[in-house]
Structure 1
Amino acid sequence: MLASRVAARSARVAAPRLSIAATRGYAEQSKPAAGQSANTKPPVQVFGLDGTYASALYTAAAKSNSLDTVSRALENMSNTFKKDTRLQSILTAPTLSIDDKKQIVAEIQKSINVQDKSNTVQNFLGTLAENNRLGVLEGVCEKFATLMGAARGEVEMTITSAAPLEQKVVRQLEQAVSKSQYVGQGKKLKVVPKVNPEIRGGLIVEIGDRTIDLSVSAKMARMNKLLQDTL
């Protein structure tokens, strides 16, 4: 697994502090030049430090006409994080030497398995390492997927359940929402199933800025509040 290879090659791993100037520097580097096509601008706004980096990466990839390549690379990275649960803890541990960061970037690049002729991903990973922000990489993968979905005209619907849902149930929900007002004309619904045992049962459906919380945990919280207010 990637985490094992990284750990074996790096005895001291962590995430030192990032200067705000360094973050802005990458974002400024990736902004379209005057007169350049506006389609290099991210289609939607994503928030947080990982969102800032994801937006800058989107712009850099758009400028180098490598959006699809970068998207595949980050999708592979995201799958690596899901399969290798130790990786994130290694990237966010207390101390990373310059050597450690170079080795980690090299190992991550090997795991991508995508030919990036523009070197956009390589340059981006180098920037994260230089700015001591390899720890945001997992979040960047998620936020970049959001940007690509918006660029492709997708509307994302997240379905959170306490246990994995049967595909039949997922398809029924997808069909119902596809015909609703929440999916505009010409848009494609993208369903993202998630599992969170803490909701105890039921579902939480998120689409756009709307959340429908039908979870058991939410019902219990409402019941507890009602009892407290009554007593």
Structure 2
Amino acid sequence: MAESITIARPYASAVFAIAQEKGDMQAWSELLTVLAQCAATPEVESILVSPAVSDEQAVNLLADITGELSTDARSFLLLLAENNRLLLLPEIAELYEELRADAEQMLTADVITARPLSDEQKSKIAAALKKRLGKEITLSESVDESLLGGAIIRAGDLVIDGSAVGKLNRLASAIS
């Protein structure tokens, strides 16, 4: 996986530069999401890796699935096909989204709580993270009753463990 990400990074950076230059980051985001889903299906994957399928045929297949492709999109897919990198579309899409979020000063924060949060609590957490990190925050909420209480927040490299279990573990470590 790490090798795939390393190989996919320059392609994601290139397509991001094109999207940013043309001012259509959202359109590329949508296209890459669909292409990534296509490339990840076993049926399409088997066609894309088949030596009997030419690069042009592979790109035409993806174009048929996604609808009409722009000249830039077709050229990008042909480049991927020529370099046997079409199966990296999921990684390219993931890296593209990271680049886009960074450029748009956006960040998704994962919030794990023992009980569902109220709208007011969500707003307060998002506002505090925005103030601390300087980015627009989108919350991704999940519930884990084993936390007993409190919350764990993961936003980029920042991890805040305010769960009751986390506090008990820190207390146990301090005592021993």
If the TM-score is normalised by the length of the shorter chain, which range does it land in? 0.5 to 0.7
Unaligned runs of at least 5 residues, structure 1: 1-17, 19-46
- The match for 1:105 is 59
Which has the larger displacement, 64-73 or 138-147?
Answer: 64-73
Shift in CA distance, 68/90, structure 1 to aligned 2, threshold 3 Å: closer
Letter matched to residue 103 of structure 2: A
How far the C-alpha of 1:132 sits from its partner, in A, is 0.7
Q: What per-residue deviation string (whole Å, max 9, x for no partner) do you get for residues 48-79 of structure 1? A: 2222221111112233443332122123335x
- The match for 1:182 is 132
2:163 matched to 1:211? no
Sequence identity (%): 19
2:41 matched to 1:87? yes
How far the C-alpha of 1:92 sits from its partner, in A, is 7.8
2:35 matched to 1:77? yes
Conservation of the 8 A alpha-carbon contact between 1:177 and 1:183: no
More helix by share: 2
Letter matched to residue 102 of structure 2: A
- The match for 2:83 is 131
Unaligned runs of at least 5 residues, structure 2: none
- The match for 2:105 is 153
Q: What per-residue deviation string (whole Å, max 9, x for no partner) do you get for residues 73-106 of structure 1? A: 123335x35xx9x616853899532625444332
How far the C-alpha of 1:143 sits from its partner, in A, is 1.3
Conservation of the 8 A alpha-carbon contact between 2:108 and 2:139: yes
Conservation of the 8 A alpha-carbon contact between 2:48 and 2:87: no
2:1 matched to 1:51? no
RMSD, aligned CA: 4.3
How far the C-alpha of 1:156 sits from its partner, in A, is 2.1
How far the C-alpha of 1:169 sits from its partner, in A, is 3.5
Q: Matched residue pairs, number?
A: 161
Shift in CA distance, 194/89, structure 1 to aligned 2, threshold 3 Å: farther
Conservation of the 8 A alpha-carbon contact between 2:15 and 2:76: yes
Shift in CA distance, 64/134, structure 1 to aligned 2, threshold 3 Å: same
How far the C-alpha of 1:189 sits from its partner, in A, is 1.0
2:7 matched to 1:63? no
Letter matched to residue 128 of structure 1: L
Q: What per-residue deviation string (whole Å, max 9, x for no partner) do you get for residues 116-154 of structure 1? A: 54x222211111111111121101111111212222221
Alignment partners' CA distance in 1, 2:145 and 2:56: 42
- What secondary structure does 1:132 align onto? coil
